[in-house]
C-alpha cells in the first residue's frame, strides 16, 4: 500500500498502510476567526488534516463562491498555528500554481474528477492529491482519473468515496461502502470515506463514518462548523465540534480494534 505523507516540518500526516487521515473543517473558509475556532476544536478531537474551500464549486452562480486567495492565506495561517497540514480544492487550471503555493494537499472535487486538463495540471505540481469520486463515476473511472494525476508527476493520491447519485432523494447521495474494499483489491492507493457529502444529513454521519472505517477505509473526511445555520455553504450537513469529538471517540475505538491509528 502507498503511504501518502501530507505536510512538512512538524506537521506531517501519513495516510495509508495503517495510518488514518482524519480530515475535518468547514466546507468553506469564511473568516480567520471562525476557522481558527473550528481548527482548535477538531485538532483537540484528533483530526490530523484541516480542510476548507477557498474556491467553491457551487451549483448556483449566485451562491458564495469562496474567498479566493484570501481564503488560502487564512487556511495556511490557521493550519500552521494549530500544527495541521491543510487541504483545499482546486476548480480551475488557472489557479493550480497559486493553490500549490499555499496548500499541502490539493483536492480534486467530485464535479471535476474527469476534468482531465485540470488533473494533468495538478499532477505536474507533485503535491499530494485528495481525489473525490465523481457522483456518477464508477470505481474504475476513479482509478483511471488517479492515473491521470500519477502519469503527470504526482504519485501521492488519496482517493475519497463521497457518495454517488442514487434514486432516493432522502439522502444527498448514496454512500458506496463497497467501493472501499474494491479499491483496495484493485489498487495500492489509500481510500477515505466522506459521509458528510455522501449523506448531507448530520444524524446519519456517525453510522456511515463508523461503517467506512470498519470496511477498511484509510481515513474519514467530515465537515465541521461551529454555527451551521450561519455557514456560507453546506451548513445543513455540518457536525458541531462537540458532535465531531464524540464521533472521533467512537472512531478511535474502531481504529484500535483493527490495529490502525490516527
Ligand atoms: C467539498 O469537499 O466541499 C466538496 C465540494 O465535495 P464534493 O466534491 O465531494 O462534492
Ligand atoms: Mn462541502
What is the model's pLDDT at position 44? 98
Task: Provide the ipTM.
Answer: 0.99
The neighbourhood of ligand 2, an ion, using CB within 5 A, equals: 27, 234
Q: Tens digit of pLDDT for each residue in 54-76? A: 999 999 999 999 999 999 999 99
Quote the ligand 1 centre to 105 CA distance (angstroms).
Answer: 14
How many angstroms separate the alpha carbon of residue 83 from the centre of ligand 1?
Answer: 24
Q: What is the 3-state secondary structure (H, E, C) of 8-55?
A: ECCEEEEEECCECEEEEECCECCCHHHHHHHHHHHHHHCCCEEECECC
- Find the helix or strand (DSSP H, E) in which 147 lies: helix 139-151
Give domain 4-254's CATH architecture.
Alpha-Beta Barrel (3.20)
Domain residue ranges of the chain, discontinuous segments joined by +: 4-254
- Please tell me the number of the ligand nearest to residue 223's CA: 2
Measured in Å, residue 154 CA sits from the centre of ligand 1 at 21
* Average pLDDT of every residue of the chain: 98
The ligand that comes nearest to the alpha carbon of residue 52 is: 1
Q: Which of 126, 106, 103 is nearest to 115 (CA)?
A: 106
pLDDT band at 258 (very low <50, low <70, confident <90, very high): very high
Dmax (CA) of the chain: 46
Residue list, ligand 1 pocket, CB within 6 Å:
27, 53, 57, 109-111, 132, 162, 197
Q: Each residue of 106-151: pLDDT tens digit?
A: 999 999 999 999 999 999 999 999 999 999 999 999 999 999 999 9
What pLDDT is recorded for position 48? 98
pLDDT tens sequence across 93-104: 999 999 999 999
Check whether 10 has a pLDDT greater than 90. Answer: no
Amino acid at each position: 500500500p502507498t503511504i501518502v505523507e501530507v505536510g512538512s516540518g512538524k506537521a506531517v500526516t501519513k495516510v495509508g498502510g495503517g495510518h488514518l487521515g482524519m480530515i475535518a473543517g468547514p466546507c468553506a473558509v469564511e473568516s480567520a476567526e471562525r476557522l481558527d475556532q473550528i481548527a482548535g476544536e477538531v485538532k483537540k478531537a484528533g483530526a490530523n488534516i484541516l480542510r476548507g474551500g477557498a474556491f467553491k464549486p457551487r451549483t448556483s452562480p449566485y451562491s458564495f463562491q469562496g474567498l479566493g486567495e484570501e481564503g488560502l492565506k487564512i487556511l495556511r495561517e490557521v493550519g500552521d498555528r494549530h500544527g495541521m497540514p491543510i487541504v483545499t480544492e482546486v476548480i480551475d487550471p488557472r489557479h493550480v500554481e497559486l493553490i500549490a503555493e499555499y496548500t499541502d494537499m490539493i483536492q480534486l472535487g467530485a464535479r471535476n474528477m474527469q476534468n482531465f486538463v485540470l488533473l494533468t495540471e495538478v499532477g505536474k505540481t507533485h503535491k499530494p492529491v485528495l481525489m473525490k469520486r465523481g457522483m456518477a463515476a464508477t470505481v474504475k473511472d476513479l482509478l483511471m482519473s488517479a492515473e491521470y494525476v500519477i502519469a503527470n508527476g504526482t504519485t501521492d493520491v488519496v482517493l475519497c468515496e463521497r457518495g454517488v447519485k442514487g434514486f432516493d432523494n432522502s439522502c444527498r447521495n448514496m454512500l458506496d461502502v463497497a467501493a472501499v474494499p474494491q479499491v483496495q483489491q484493485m489498487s495500492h492507493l489509500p481510500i477515505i470515506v466522506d459521509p458528510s457529502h455522501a449523506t448531507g444529513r448530520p444524524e446519519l454521519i456517525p453510522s456511515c463514518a463508523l461503517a467506512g472505517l470498519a470496511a477498511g477505509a484509510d481515513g474519514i473526511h467530515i465537515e465541521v462548523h461551529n454555527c451551521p445555520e450561519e455557514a456560507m455553504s453546506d451548513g445543513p450537513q455540518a457536525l458541531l465540534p462537540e458532535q465531531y469529538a464524540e464521533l472521533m471517540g467512537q472512531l478511535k475505538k474502531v481504529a484500535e480494534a483493527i490495529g490502525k491509528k490516527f
